[in-house]
Structure 1
């Protein structure tokens, strides 16, 4: 008997907009991956994906070829200290502020942080509604400040798939410049 899984939802347009900045064939961490819609999409684009979530059943349903780890990200020490660095870290619809320093440290030089989650104001239209789960105005910019170069940022409302207040950022850990004073890399913005 062959098990079939329901089709995954489409990846976030924010991820697809900025995925071109990820090193071709690079390692990507999909943190709090849930059903794995982003893990599956990234793997299909040729990236080596580590999908992490606390839901063992969801992780088990991911397509083959995707590395999986079932961990509770909110208990104990950073559980991915042995995982090395990544060419991208992707986080959507998840917020646990104590992880931010670890996510930035997990980025390799040239690595891309693509982060999107709910923001203040969402309590007026639905869940999540607790302040612990909602970004404050400009909070993702504060996280990236001093450590990453912001190449894209938005803070506003979405109507699809349902009305939600969101904040999202795409930021890059710049590789150290050459000793000859070469210019920093250019990040091609989507048109």
Structure 2
């Protein structure tokens, strides 16, 4: 009999091995576009891991739900939030099984996680005028990590078409640059 460990088990194991609470490392994308993100309202950080993005969103004034499949990662994130003097709410859920509620969030972030089937749900979960910040690895990542599974990498040009119902504000999708990340910031249409 072959036992296959789930993704959830692998992530739990990874975070349990952590020996110290890591320092907060601000993501350059959130720093650069802080003026778009800053404000009140509810933000959702998908695949939050140890909540670095969630903590940054809280520092920008947002009420934040950090969603991840790993309870241990969220507990580490809570300690980071406490150390930084902000509050976040952790939610343990597997994104493969948890439906995103519609028209609920002013901001949604998803960094370093790729599930193409979630793209429409992310857009639908935004309130009118809501902002999506999406950033993950692209195929340039294979140069440094050639054994990385290419199914979890964005293809050049893919991100520009990923959210057709949203207004694309800025996008760097690996076509013209050699960065191992692609990112997009997009806005949900405002109602009249």
Divergent runs of 4+, >2 A? 5-9, 155-158
**Residue ranges of structure 2 left out of the alignment (5+ in a row):** 1-19
Indicate how the Cα distance of structure 1 residues 141 and 166 shifts in structure 2: closer, same or farther if over 3 A, else same: same
Determine the C-alpha separation between the residues in 1 that align with 2:153 and 2:171.
16
* Matching residue of 2:94: 72
Secondary structure of 2:148's match? coil
Q: 2:44, 2:65 within 8 Å by CA — same for their partners in 1?
A: yes
Q: 2:44, 2:67 within 8 Å by CA — same for their partners in 1?
A: yes
Q: 1:31, 1:52 within 8 Å by CA — same for their partners in 2?
A: yes
Count of matched residue pairs: 164
Whether 1:50 and 2:60 are equivalent positions in the alignment is: no
Of the three residues 28, 33, 43, the one matched with 1:18 is: 33
Higher share of residues assigned helix: 2
CA offset digits 1:109-155 (Å, max 9, x no partner): 1111111100113222116721211001111111122x111111112
**Residue ranges of structure 1 left out of the alignment (5+ in a row):** 159-164, 178-191
Q: 2:135, 2:182 within 8 Å by CA — same for their partners in 1?
A: yes
Normalised TM-score (structure 1): 0.77
Of the three residues 171, 187, 192, the one matched with 1:153 is: 171
Determine the C-alpha separation between the residues in 2 that align with 1:70 and 1:128.
29
For the aligned residue pairs, the C-alpha RMSD in angstroms reads 2.1
